[in-house]
Amino acid sequence: MLRWACLSPYRTVIEGHMAGRSNSPGGAAAAQAKASDASLEHILSQANTAEKFCAAIAKLFGVRAKEVALMRQEKGLLKFLFPEQLKTAGSIPVSSSSAVASHTASTKKTELFNTFAKIKHARVFETVKLQAAEEADQSEQSSIQKLMSAPVLSPDRKVLGVIQVCRKGFDLNSAGPDFTHNDLQQLELAAKVASTLPFLNEA
């Protein structure tokens, strides 16, 4: 299992962020949310590797690290930076008509699917085992039930990559709660931070 001791203040920031949006009235809520967004951006910007960045994203959304994927666009292909096991599993053409990541990259728009298993999509990467056999649990046999996908764009709106967060399960109920519009906004913020980090800007 991966350990993320360097992100110990992260949970406090997230809880404060959510409390600020739900409990404070009017302008105070907006001000606190803005401050929390700044704190979140700061924490994410400290991640100097794709692995650490995705670990922070997993904590933000309360998912397992293996339910976060980060891809970098290289010469018309989306190549996995995380999870590690997918780096050698192949790449996704941006022109693909069957991959959600490709659609996200080509449209430059965020997408949310809370009934993802019903959506026609390429499943080849879902079959890759993300844990060693002795560490695998039942979730390895589950499938993606809910998914958010966001493009990572440069200031001039060039596609640098795609970040996805999913919830896996044997059905919708076992996968956990639906993603919300607020979750999608948070993923957009994370993608904005990702666009400034070196692992997505390497040649």
Least confident of 33-37, 158-162, 163-167, 181-185: 33-37
Highest mean pLDDT among 40-44, 135-139, 155-159: 155-159
Higher pLDDT pick, 95 / 135? 95
pLDDT at 139 over 90: no
Domain that holds residue 162: 5-200
CA 123, chain centre distance (Å): 18
Q: Give the model's confidence band at 18: pLDDT under 50 very low, under 70 low, under 90 confident, else very high.
A: very low
Higher pLDDT pick, 49 / 121? 49
Query: Model-level pTM?
Result: 0.77
How many independent structural domains does the chain possess? 1
Rounded to an integer, the average pLDDT of 92-120 is 92
What is the per-residue DSSP string for 145-181?
EEEEEEEEE-TT--EEEEEEEEEEESSTTTT-SPP-H
pLDDT at 6 over 80: no
Question: Residue 119 is part of a domain; what is its CATH number?
Answer: 3.30.450.40
